[in-house]
Structure 1
Amino acid sequence: MRVGYGGGIPPNIGEGDRAAGADGIRENLDPSWLRGDPPWLDLFHVWLREAIDSHIPEPNAMVLGTADADGIPSTRTVLCKGADASGIVFFTGYDSDKGHELAANPYASVTFPWIALERQVHFRGPVEHVTMEETQEYWYMRPRGSQLSAYASAQSQPIDTRTALEDLAARVAAQFGGFDAGAEIPVPPAWGGYRLVPTTVEFWQGRANRLHNRVRLTRSDAGWEAVRLQP
């Protein structure tokens, strides 16, 4: 529950760019901030870097929304592992709930909720598999323990007890020589990366008295168009 809601006339009405928000930036988010190719990328990287510098826990965490073949939605938090001109990348098991939903309905949304800075960035668009080369490159950067857990887990499938899960992980670790060292662990057959290719990107900047700033970019055959939205 949000606290501190006040009433009355907003004290900063008419102050324009002088009304600083919780992010400490006095300037109001404006479509003119969106430049480059694609025009969302530079500002996204700036905001991500500022989230990192502000020591926000898991600044690359994003809420991933998918829907099944019947249109029933579900959300969960995953980690962004790549953001460039081609889109937003994350990794998971293809046989997980989200993997099955993306196979049936290959569209998704992701939201970066930098609440401490009163900022959000939201992406929507189709989702595709990354290349095997991209999956392998990321896989071999992961800590060994994370590799073993991903190899052992039939993600989203039931298991009786925590002890059974730990025993399963221990058996897989023994298969490859141990948790700390041993044989190289290959990429699991049903594990890899997805890329959300944005068609809509929205930046949100919190302001006092709910006069927030929203700027939405939409991609069409003619290119990207930016508009300011009412909060």
Structure 2
Amino acid sequence: MSNDVTRIDYTGTGLSEEEIAPTPWQQARIWVDEAVERSRAQADVPEPHALSVATVDADGLPNVRTVLMRYFDERGPGFLTNTSSTKGVELAATSAIAASLTWPSMFRAIRFRGYAVLLDRAEVADYFASRPWASRISAWASRQSQPVASRAELEEAYEAYAVRWPDRGNADDVPLPDFWGGYRILCDEVEFWGGRTNRLHDRLVFTRTGDGDLDTADAWSLSRRQP
């Protein structure tokens, strides 16, 4: 292994107890909105909604992958996927989940821990209808996480479904697959990481102490963890 390690001193401003919002929802909304705004102004946040999602398999071994956060409100972050995929199978067996939004150029990250619940079918249908026609066809063509012999086989499946459901410019041109759905993370912990110089970063953590959503102040306690 090479010893030529590139070291970058973080220049973030961190996050203090005095400036953090009173609920995890309010603080997360601020940071997500600022990441979206930066993605429009600069090229260093190309996908502000990229969400790393971790699950565990039947042997307790973790899997992590990146999806897009397509829902985010007081109930928690949500994403869409093929529910027969590896993540779907693992969540059906063990609903425990961890996820994170990370914006390296902003020296910020948000970490969510909790349990996954299936999204309401109506929510999924509404979102699926809003997708571009080609993306809806791809949802049918890909049996996510399953082996495939070649790229050509995948493209052949795509073409077959494209012929079956041609693009007529309508939201209902392509039906919603029964294996396509999504999950919302019901959080028990939300951590805000703010990078600072000399690796003395800020880690402020909201931990659930009662019932309520992400914007219920009485449901959360705030603490600081060492970096």
TM superposition shift of 1:50: 1.5
Equivalent residues of 1:33, 1:43 under 8 A apart: no
- Establish whether residue 68 from structure 1 lines up as the match of residue 68 from structure 2: no
- Establish whether residue 49 from structure 1 lines up as the match of residue 33 from structure 2: yes
Aligned pairs for 1:1-231 within 5 A:
3-4=6-7, 22-23=11-12, 25=13, 28-36=14-22, 39-55=23-39, 56-178=45-167, 181=169, 184-221=173-210, 223-231=219-227
TM superposition shift of 1:193: 1.3
Equivalent residues of 2:103, 2:109 under 8 A apart: yes
TM superposition shift of 1:181: 4.6
Equivalent residues of 2:11, 2:196 under 8 A apart: yes
Aligned AA for 1:82? Y
Q: What is the alpha-carbon distance in structure 2 between the residues aligned to residue 100 and residue 120 of structure 1?
A: 27
CA distances 1:37-80 after superposition (whole Å, capped 9, x unpaired): xx111111111122122221110001100001221100000000
Equivalent residues of 1:151, 1:188 under 8 A apart: yes
Equivalent residues of 1:30, 1:228 under 8 A apart: no
Equivalent residues of 2:166, 2:173 under 8 A apart: no
Q: What is the alpha-carbon distance in structure 2 between the residues aligned to residue 22 and residue 117 of structure 1?
A: 9
C-alpha RMSD of the superposition: 1.9
Q: What is aligned with 1:11?
A: none
Equivalent residues of 2:68, 2:79 under 8 A apart: yes
Q: Please, what TM-score do these two structures have when normalized by structure 1?
A: 0.85
Q: Please, what TM-score do these two structures have when normalized by structure 2?
A: 0.87
Aligned AA for 1:130? L
SS of the residue 1:45 aligns to: helix
CA distances 1:124-159 after superposition (whole Å, capped 9, x unpaired): 001000101110111111111100000121111111
Aligned AA for 1:122? R
Q: What is aligned with 2:213?
A: none
SS of the residue 2:27 aligns to: helix
RCO (CA 8 Å, sep 6+): is it higher in 1 or 2? 2
Q: Which has the larger radius of gyration?
A: 1
Q: What is the alpha-carbon distance in structure 2 between the residues aligned to residue 103 and residue 121 of structure 1?
A: 25
**Structure-2 change in CA distance of 1:146 and 1:167 (3 Å):** same
Q: What is the alpha-carbon distance in structure 2 between the residues aligned to residue 72 and residue 135 of structure 1?
A: 29
Q: What is the alpha-carbon distance in structure 2 between the residues aligned to residue 86 and residue 96 of structure 1?
A: 24
CA distances 1:10-51 after superposition (whole Å, capped 9, x unpaired): xxxxxxxxxxx634x4xx412344445xx1111111111221
CA distances 1:175-216 after superposition (whole Å, capped 9, x unpaired): 0125x7576111100111100011000000000001101101
**Structure-2 change in CA distance of 1:2 and 1:79 (3 Å):** farther
Q: What is the alpha-carbon distance in structure 2 between the residues aligned to residue 153 and residue 212 of structure 1?
A: 41
Equivalent residues of 1:60, 1:80 under 8 A apart: yes
Aligned AA for 1:54? R
